[in-house]
Structure 1
Amino acid sequence: MDKQELGAFLRSRRERLAPRDVGLPAGPRRRTPGLRREEVAVLAHISTEYYIRLEQGRAPRPSAEVLAGITGALRLTDAESDHLHVLAGTPPNRRRLHRRDVRPSILTLLDRLPQTAAFVTSAVFEVLAWNDLTAALMEDYALLAPEERNLARRAFLGPQHPDAPLYGLSDAAEFRHHVVMDLRGALARYPDDPAVTGLVDELREGSAEFTRLWERRDIQSAPTLTKTFHHPVVGDVTVDCDALALTDRDQNLVLYSAPPGSRDAETLALLAVVGADAGMTP
């Protein structure tokens, strides 16, 4: 284990990331570039003290689980992850993990789509990035902790009544069924990813409805072409639904739009003016 080089490598990877890259608010003005050490520790699910000792070259050899958490927190590429394991003196972790980093070009695209609520979800329904109209139509995810941005968790374990429509959706039951089928596929693709297996276990333990649907073992659903949101500020709005697969990262770009000149398009335009303050509380 090369403790000094390991610490230097961790610092270099941490300093290249901005809070928005990992779904965190920028907060007050920062005196140094990159994420704070405590932010990395939270994202990696380890103690801040231990992470600080790693960067200072004073910690004992980290386990494979700790390295996996740090790899995800720092958004390391496969090559960077392998290098991290070499520095730590631990065999590279070849388990396949689902990706949470969004391509910069997609992040730019989100804000360039006119009158369209657009957001990116991971293989397990984490909302990774979104534009202002999504915040107005659904919720401002910047106000939520990363673990609270998971649509599967919010659909089955959220604060709303189990039978209540998530975000006022008219097809909440169909959406929950779709979530279960997609999670079954994700579990097959990432059987060793603790974030995937942990989410499925959490949902099975916490939701009888999820367990009932899970035991059906359905694996394919019909595409959803439209959705109707019962919005508390602007009333009902029906949108066309398109989910574009970002195959290189196993993510989806979800687009909610309305035909130009329609009443629903005018409602979306109104939401764009009202802004995130109009977003729903599920």
Structure 2
Amino acid sequence: MSSDATGIHKLEDVVDLGKFLQARRARVNPDEVGLPADSRRRVPGLRREELALLAGVSVDYYTRLEQGRAKRPSDQVLDAVARALRLDETTRAHLHLLAGNTRRSPVQERTGVRPSLQTMLAAIDNFPALIMNHRQDVLASNRLARLLYGGFGWDLESGPNFVRLLFDEDSREFFPDWGAMCSHETVAQLRKMSALFPEDAEMTALIGELSVAHRDFAEMWARAEVKDCNIGWVRFDHPMVGLLQLYKDQFRVADGSGQMLVTLTAAPGTDGYEKLALLGAGA
């Protein structure tokens, strides 16, 4: 794997505080924080000295923070930096996690799905549902989920990685909102999970692989967006039923495994509900 192409070649790069700060600093426009525009700027975003001024810390200290030479910065300093970077609550918490100032909840990946979850999944028969792990590998799915994604040629029973599938070239045809869904949801959630599972070599390999293979992924990852669970409307352009709009919910399994139940629903009487019924009946 080429580190020149991605900047990702070992575990530390995925959860590196300095790289995260640099990426977020590049996203802050000077005029957003009341600084004058300067046509001589050679890089996007704020300069280090500007960020330090806004955060109320010395330029030397902030430089050491980005270079990984400032050990265990205080909560007060991190909160000040977060405010200067205009981070939301989820991203601020991610910053504290990267700095080692937040105690990580015990996490341990499970290789399989608990029988009780399998039973619940099998009992859901009127809307698609699936179980994924923190890397977004599909661990289990119900009949309607397999029918829904099977229309795109995706075999959920083979345990594919959902992020890999989304960045396949053909996926753009299946999701009218592909760009927003990948950038602001899928990649942002993957970044959050990478900090919760910092020793996961498979996660690091996945991020590196996608960064090399897909320029879109590399650019989205470089934005350093962080998001918790992805909920909201998802639109599909399905070959069997046409445009289909479903509401996605994610339910985190409370056992530290990183697994989550994902459901795609539509209210009775809606177009989405009728099309799901049609999809199920046509199998």
User: TM-score, normalised on structure 2?
Assistant: 0.56
Question: Cα deviation per residue 1:8-55 (whole Å; 9 max; x = unaligned)?
Answer: xxxxxxxxxxxxxxxxxxxxxxxxxxxxxxxxxxxxxxxxxxxxxxxx
Matched with 1:113 is 124
Q: Give SS of 1:253's match.
A: strand
Alignment of 1:1-282 (within 5 A): 98-139=109-150, 142=155, 145-146=158-159, 149-156=160-167, 158-160=168-170, 164-165=172-173, 168-177=174-183, 178-220=185-227, 223-248=230-255, 249-275=257-283
Give how far 1:232 is off.
0.7
1:205 and 1:230 map into 2 onto residues whose CA distance is 28
TM-aligned CA deviation for residue 142 of structure 1: 5.0
CA RMSD of aligned residues (A): 2.4
Q: CA deviation at 1:97?
A: 5.4
Q: Which whole-Å CA distance do the structure 2 matches of 1:106 and 1:176 have between them?
A: 27
| Shift in CA distance, 224/96, structure 1 to aligned 2, threshold 3 Å | closer
Preserved CA contact (<8 Å) 2:149 2:156: no
Question: Residue 140 of structure 2 aligns to which amino acid in structure 1?
Answer: A
- CA separation of 1:207/1:142 partners in 2, compared to 1, >3 Å: closer, same or farther? closer
Please give the secondary structure, in 2, of the residue aligned with 1:261. coil
Q: How many equivalent residue pairs?
A: 174
Change (3 A) 1:114 1:199: same
Classify the secondary structure of the residue corresponding to 1:196: helix
Question: For residues 252-280 of structure 1, what are the alpha-carbon distances to aligned partners after superposition, in whole Å with 9 as ceiling and x for unaligned?
Answer: 111111111222211111111122xxxxx
Counterpart Cα distance in 1 of 2:127 and 2:203: 30
Comparing 107-116 with 134-143, greater Cα deviation is found at 134-143
For 2:180, the aligned partner's letter is E
SS of equivalent to 2:260: strand
Kept in 2: contact 1:96–1:192 (CA 8 A): no
For the Cα contact (< 8 Å) 1:97–1:192, is it kept in 2?
Answer: no
Contiguous gaps of at least 5 residues in structure 2: 1-105
Unaligned runs of 5+ in 1: 1-94, 276-282
Q: Provide the rounded CA distance (Å) in 2 between the counterparts of 1:151 and 1:257.
A: 19
**TM-score, normalisation: structure 1:** 0.56
Return the alpha-carbon distance in structure 1 between the equivalents of residues 155 and 224 of structure 2: 34
| Residues 184-238 of structure 1: CA deviation (Å, up to 9, x unaligned) | 1222122222211111111111111111111111113785321121111111121
